[in-house]
Amino acid sequence: MKVLFIHRFCGKGGVTVGIRKKFMGLRDVGIKADFLFLKDTGGTYLFDDIDINLYNPQNLNEIESILNNNHYDVISSIDCPEVHRILEKVTLNVKVICEVHTPYSIHRSYLKDGNLPVNIQCIVTPSKTFKYLIRKELKDRFKDIPIHVIPNPVENNFLKLSGRSSYTFPRKIIGWIGRFDETKNPIELFNIASAFASRNDIEFYIVGNPPNDKFNLIFSEIRKFKGRINFIWLPFIDHRKIHNFYNMLRISSGCFLSTSKGECFCNTVIESMACCCPVVASNIDVFKEMLEDGDCGSLYRLGNIKEATKTIIRTLEDHAYRDKIVQNAYNKVKENLTIAKVSLQWKSLFDMLLNV
């Protein structure tokens, strides 16, 4: 079986990392996959250690010839409506699916506009919450398209609990990862960090970059930050080292924080869970689904800084509670979200589409 994944970008973000993980899993179940992207935004190195074909066509004709020459069984467009008209031209035996991952509503407008390929077989999305959202957003004529939920997996090295625990950190570290944009809500993060400025035993490590390297947001947040600067900003961490980041949070007895206003499924949250790093997150629906408040992580009301600080303090200082959520979260990931388990779900979906 041969599958092609198509996305707008080949970058360093969640979607490209997700495609890498899909390759690894599908390879293990005997499925060959390729990746076609429209713009290289610096993520091709993510595939250096994988035997795959990467395509970066310069025009629509080139895309068409790639599709025609490679005889794919399944083609998946991941939030990439630019290619939908071309996908309509493939032969009947090629099954076309669409994956919806973007939490940015503007990038999902193609659902509302009905801009899906007419030969679409199904939609795949990583969480139930997102499934309901997509269902609401779909145009009437696509209302009956089946929507499958297949979560994003975590790579096995996250579950190994690496990192030398002999390190003693002088402070508990609260980690945050994301783009500095409205959806990931970094302003709330800075407000929460500021609320901890008087505590010398807590510090923040912020990983992320503003879109298009526009640094105004971080400049202005630093300028108006109330109290002692208590955060270290790292614009990026190579995905091959990112598990070390969560391990560092765990070893320092800290936690991972997400202030996001919208997610389809949060890779950073499941990666934290896999590394036994407790998670505190805003109470958006996706996090409710993933963390089951008080069971696999802690939630606070989005926008409520007082509640966020209270929740963080409980997660850091109530050891019994911390141990419980960490263990439950780890078990949840290990049982459901390994690459092996998730790739089996993909295989059954492809088998079903191809009537194997």
d(CA 161, CA 314): 23
Single residue of 105, 169, 182, 201 touching another protein by CB under 8 A: 169
Task: Name the helix (H) or strand (E) containing 40.
Answer: strand 32-40
What's phi and psi for 193, nearest 5 deg? -60, -40
Is position 237 an interface residue for another protein (rule: CB under 8 A)? yes
Is position 315 an interface residue for another protein (rule: CB under 8 A)? no
Please report, as residue ranges, which positions from 84 to 143 form the binding site for another protein (by CB under 8 A). Answer: none
Specify the residue, 72 or 245, whose C-beta has the smaller distance to another protein.
245
Q: Which residues contact 155 (CB under 8 A, 6 or more apart)?
A: 21, 24, 243, 339
Single residue of 247, 260, 282, 298 touching another protein by CB under 8 A: 247
Binding part of the chain for another protein, among 78-86, 211-219, 330-338, 343-351 by CB under 8 A, reads 211-219
Is position 157 an interface residue for another protein (rule: CB under 8 A)? no
Is position 194 an interface residue for another protein (rule: CB under 8 A)? no
Q: Tell me if residue 230 falls in helix, strand or coil.
A: coil
Query: Which residue, among 96, 47, 100, 108, has the nearest Cα to 78 in the 3D structure?
Result: 100
Is position 235 an interface residue for another protein (rule: CB under 8 A)? yes
Q: Which residues contact 284 (CB under 8 A, 6 or more apart)?
A: 260, 261, 262, 263, 302
Residues in contact with another protein, counted by CB under 8 A, come to a total of 34
Binding part of the chain for another protein, among 54-62, 147-155, 220-228, 253-261 by CB under 8 A, reads 220-228
Is position 211 an interface residue for another protein (rule: CB under 8 A)? no
Q: Name the site residues for another protein (rule: CB under 8 A).
A: 163-164, 167, 169, 173, 200, 205, 212-216, 218-220, 222-223, 225, 228-237, 241, 244-245, 247-248, 251
